[in-house]
Amino acid sequence: MKIKDMPYEHPELEPIKERLGRIIEGTKNAGSAKEILALREEYLKESSRIQTMMSLAYIRYSCNTADEYYTAEQDYIDEISPALNLLDVEFGNALLASPFRKELETALSPVLFRYLEVRAAAASPEILEDMIEENKISTEYTKLMSGIEYEFRGEKMSRAALAGYFKAEDRATRKEAYEVMGNTLNGYREQLDDIYDRLVKVRTRMARKLGYKDFVELGYYRMNRVSYGRSDIEVFRKNVKEALVPVVSALRTENAKKLGIDRYMFYDNDVIMPGGDPCPMGGKEEIFAAAKAMYHEMGEETGAFIDLMLENDAFDVDSRKNKWGGGYCTYLPDYKQPFILANFNGTAGDVDVMTHEAGHALNAFLMADNRFGLDIGCGGMETAETHSMSMEFFAWKYIDKFFGKDAERYKYMHLLDALSFIPYGTIVDYFQHIVYENPDMTPAERNELWQKLESEFRPYITTDGIPFIEEGRRWQYQAHIFESPFYYIDYCLAQTAALGFLLESLKDYDDAFARYIRLSRQGGETYYPELLEEAGIPSPFKEGGLSLLAEKVTAVLESIDA
Is residue 437 within 8 Å of residue 485, measured between CB atoms?
no
Q: Decide: 250 and 451 in contact? Cβ < 8 Å.
A: no
For all residues of the chain together, what is the average pLDDT?
96
Q: What is the sign, positive or negative, of the torsion defined by CA atoms of 79, 80, 81, 85? A: positive
pLDDT tens, 325-354?
Answer: 888 999 999 999 999 999 998 889 899 889
CA distances from 218 to 86, 119, 187, 436, 541 (A): 15, 10, 33, 10, 21
Q: How confident is the model at residue 108 (pLDDT cuts 50, 70, 90)?
A: very high
* Distance between CA atoms of residues 499 and 493, nearest Å: 10
pLDDT at residue 276 in the model: 82
Residue 200 is predicted with a pLDDT of 98
Q: In this model, does residue 275 exceed pLDDT 90?
A: no
Residue 315, beta-bridge partner list: 340
In DSSP notation, 20-69 reads: HHHHHHHHHT-SSHHHHHHHHHHHHHHHHHHHHHHHHHHHHHHH-TT-HH
Q: How many CB atoms lie within 10 A of CB 47?
A: 19
Instruction: Give the model's pLDDT for residue 353.
Output: 87
Flag whether pLDDT at 77 surpasses 90.
yes
pLDDT at 425 over 90: yes
Q: Tell me the pLDDT band of 160, cut-offs 50, 70 and 90.
A: confident
Comparison of pLDDT for 275 and 391, the residue scoring more: 391
- The Cα-based distances of 228 to 58, 282, 434, 478 in angstroms read 31, 43, 19, 24
Give the pLDDT score at 37.
98
Q: Residues 240-251: pLDDT tens digits?
A: 999 999 999 999
Alpha helices in 148-283 (DSSP H): 159-162, 171-186, 189-209, 215-222, 230-239, 245-258
435 has a pLDDT exceeding 90: yes
DSSP class per residue in 485-500: TT-THHHHHHHHHHHH
The pLDDT assigned to 291 comes to 98
Write the CA distances from 380 to 127, 279, 373, 493, integer angstroms: 23, 33, 12, 11
Per-residue pLDDT band at 388 (split at 50, 70, 90): very high
Instruction: Report the 3 state secondary structure along 244-278.
Output: HHHHHHHHHHHHHHHCCCCCCEHHHCCCCCCCCCC
- pLDDT given for residue 236 in this prediction: 97
pLDDT value at position 407?
Answer: 97
CA separation (Å) from 484 to 318, 369, 379, 460, 549?
A: 24, 28, 16, 28, 28
At residue 321 the predicted structure's pLDDT band, cuts being 50, 70 and 90, is confident
For the domain bounded by 1-281+405-562, which CATH number is listed?
1.10.1370.30
pLDDT for the residue numbered 345:
87
Which pLDDT does position 311 carry in this prediction?
98
**In Å, how far are 43, 380, 512 from 78, measured between CA atoms?**
21, 22, 41
Per-residue pLDDT, averaged over 219-233, amounts to 95
Q: What integer pLDDT is reported at residue 59 of this predicted model?
A: 98
